[in-house]
Amino acid sequence: MFTGLIQSLGTIRPLGGDRFSITCSHNSSDAILQDLATGDSVAVDGVCLTVTEVLPQGFVATASPETLRRTTLGQQFDRLVNVETALRVGSKLGGHFVMGHVDGVGCLQTVEQTATSWEMAFTAPDEIARYIVPKGSIAVNGVSLTIADWNPAINLFKVAVIPLSYAETNLQYLGIGNWVNLEGDILGKYVEKLIQFGTDRGEATSPLDTVSPTFLAEHGYL
């Protein structure tokens, strides 16, 4: 599990087959490598990968065919990727719960610099569009962002990226038409599953029908 707060930029290169090396940038490599070990989980552009070998300035990881099919990892090499190590118990959660399980690939449509941020708009595939809600969370290349606007008619969402996040991630290098890894908020997925479970069992009413102010008060939500 991750937070969507990027610790380092790295360069990804193929090693043959499904193996990749990720070399971390010199000025931020300590955050990744200080206690990295074989078997650890690391998010690379939002994709959870298992470290198979630790290198002096990075690490080696293997991606499954399913991972390569669903993400941008196998599309381009010698490019900068966002890197984050797994969340530790007791650590600060400054972003949101990011699982590293990419739902699909989106495409950058527009980017505009404003006085306080960079406003970026992406299209999303149907498999992730259902989890997108205004003011909700989404991970774009592993970066935790808040959805500022959502147009369901064309599956397009907008985010405002603050200068710090823009400067320290590979979002700054994206061009119009570039592809990005998208992961919806895990909370929405569980809600969808629970509602679908009731429907599949043939229940006459939706579980949502039982949720009322009285119900919430009785269960501690005041």
> Model confidence over 137-177: pLDDT tens digits?
999 999 999 999 999 999 999 999 999 999 999 999 999 99
Judge whether residue 203 has pLDDT over 50. Answer: yes
The CATH number of 8-85 is which of 3.40.50.720, 2.40.30.20, 3.60.15.10, 3.50.30.50? Answer: 2.40.30.20
User: Identical fold at 8-85 and 104-187?
Assistant: yes
Are the C-beta atoms of residues 184 and 132 closer than 8 Å to each other? yes
Dump strand ranges (E) for 25-176: 41-44, 47-55, 58-62, 79-85, 104-113, 118-123, 137-140, 143-151, 156-161
User: How confident is the prediction for the chain on average, in pLDDT?
Assistant: 89
The CATH number of 104-187 is which of 3.10.310.30, 3.40.50.150, 2.40.30.20, 2.40.50.140? Answer: 2.40.30.20
Q: Which of the residue ranges 43-47, 108-112, 171-175, 186-190 would you say has the lowest mean pLDDT?
A: 186-190
> What six digits make up the tokens of 76?
């381009």
Predicted pLDDT of residue 17: 83
Segment 173-194 mean pLDDT: 90
Predicted pLDDT of residue 222: 52
